[in-house]
């Protein structure tokens, strides 16, 4: 309730970003620390809750026509909304995930987190206002809009960012799902940021999910089974069924193991001649009668990573990337992680690649301009 001038030396009125629930402003504390200030929109709670209830009714009415049980998906979102409309809960979850990202499974500190996340400023969080670290970069949404507006693309740079995105998101979500059990539940392009140093950050922790230890262990077991070259699809189906996934009466049991491949492994062919296209008649998703709500948000993260892989045409398997952490979770098998020195070298190599891609893009534009000028002069002389 105090005036803006009391805690802040400056406060930018134009928001950095706006969404349905809140908008975020850049500000500077009296201490000199640059922060991001998330402010809830007035009178948003009843409107948002009403909109979601209408969507739930729509999903229920048309559930037979949709490829997935979206009624369960939106019911899960509605339950998470109570936390999203209380920034105190968001700050707690965000700080827990920030702590998790800083640590290896054995508890030792990481040289650098795979995913950067903001942290709340102590004493500056209320139900409707959240003051947190300011992360300097651009979101994937902004990158896409800028590329569309300029009409120019740098394929080498895009490929490099794509590879870094996939690795960072896979490693980061693996930590959240298998190591901590608390994870970001709304990973979309507006919440994923490429920082100025090329690292990847995750924003907006309004929707998070805490998994049960049992489900964590089941997901870990699934990743280990999917990593095997000679897969036991019967065992995979057993794990998926134990998670609570139920099939339609006419569905084949292969649909359970195919669903696991669809979610966690974009490299492999599916059993039972199923296809990964969820809108196809041969999609395993069409054989699912009900999907447990606890898996809804895990699925969102896995499908997002799979979509980025497809967009950049990069082969990648979430389950195989998570398998070492899964074996640690299940059996305490030590993980072979990069040392601090290796991570430093990797960071340096990434910067060299980034500079190379940027330079190639600049030189390409200069050369294209030179050729255009050359041909224009030749035409004029002719």
The catalytic residue positions are 186
* Crossing angle between the packed helical segments 293-312 and 254-264, to the nearest 10 degrees: 60
221 forms beta bridges with: none
92 forms beta bridges with: none
Angle at 171 between CA 196 and CA 70, to 5 degrees: 100
* Crossing angle between the packed helical segments 87-101 and 70-84, to the nearest 10 degrees: 100
* Crossing angle between the packed helical segments 318-331 and 293-312, to the nearest 10 degrees: 140
Classify each residue of 243-256 as buried b or exposed e, where b means 16 or more C-beta atoms within 10 Å of its C-beta.
bebebeeebebbbb
Q: Which two tokens stand for residue 3?
A: 């005036």
Radius of gyration of the chain from Cα atoms? Answer: 23
Is there a contact between 99 and 120 (Cβ–Cβ < 8 Å)? no
Burial of 367 (0-12, 13-18, 19+ CB in 10 A): exposed
The DSSP annotation for 307-321 comes to HHHHHHT----HHHH
């Amino acid at each position: 309730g105090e005036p803006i001038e009391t805690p802040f030396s400056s406060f930018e009125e134009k928001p950095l970003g706006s969404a349905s629930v809140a908008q975020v402003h850049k500000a500077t504390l009296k201490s000199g620390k640059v922060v991001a200030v998330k402010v809830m929109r007035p009178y948003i709670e009843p409107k948002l809750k009403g909109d979601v209830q209408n969507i739930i009714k729509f999903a229920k009415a048309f559930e037979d026509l949709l490829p997935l049980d979206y009624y369960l998906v939106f019911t899960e979102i509605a339950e998470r909304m109570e936390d999203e409309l209380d920034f105190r809960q968001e700050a707690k979850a965000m700080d827990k995930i920030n702590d998790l990202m800083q640590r290896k499974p054995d508890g030792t500190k990481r040289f650098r987190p795979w995913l950067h996340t903001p942290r709340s400023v102590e004493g500056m969080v209320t139900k409707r206002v959240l003051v947190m670290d300011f992360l300097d970069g651009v979101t994937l949404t902004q990158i896409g809009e800028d590329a569309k507006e300029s009409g120019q693309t740098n394929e080498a740079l895009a490929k490099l960012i794509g590879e870094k995105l996939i690795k960072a998101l896979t490693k980061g979500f693996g930590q959240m799902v298998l190591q901590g059990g608390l994870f970001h539940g709304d990973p979309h392009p507006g919440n994923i940021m490429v920082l100025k140093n090329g690292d990847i950050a995750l924003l907006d922790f309004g929707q998070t999910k805490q998994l049960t230890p049992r489900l964590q262990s089941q997901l870990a077991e699934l990743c280990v089974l999917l990593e095997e070259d000679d897969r036991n699809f019967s065992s995979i189906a057993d794990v998926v069924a134990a998670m609570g996934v139920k099939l339609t009466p006419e569905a084949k049991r292969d649909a359970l193991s195919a669903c696991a491949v669809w979610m966690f492994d974009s490299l492999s062919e599916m059993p039972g001649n199923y296809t990964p296209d969820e809108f196809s008649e041969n999609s395993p998703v069409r054989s699912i009668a009900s999907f447990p709500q606890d898996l809804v948000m895990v699925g969102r993260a896995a499908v997002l990573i799979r979509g980025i892989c497809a967009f950049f045409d990069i082969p990648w398997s979430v389950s195989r990337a998570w398998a070492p952490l899964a074996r640690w979770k299940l059996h305490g098998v030590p993980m072979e992680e990069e040392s601090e020195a290796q991570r430093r070298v990797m960071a340096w190599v990434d910067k060299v690649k980034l500079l190379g891609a940027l330079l190639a893009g600049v030189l390409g534009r200069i050369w294209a301009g030179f050729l255009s000028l050359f041909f224009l002069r030749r035409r004029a002389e002719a």
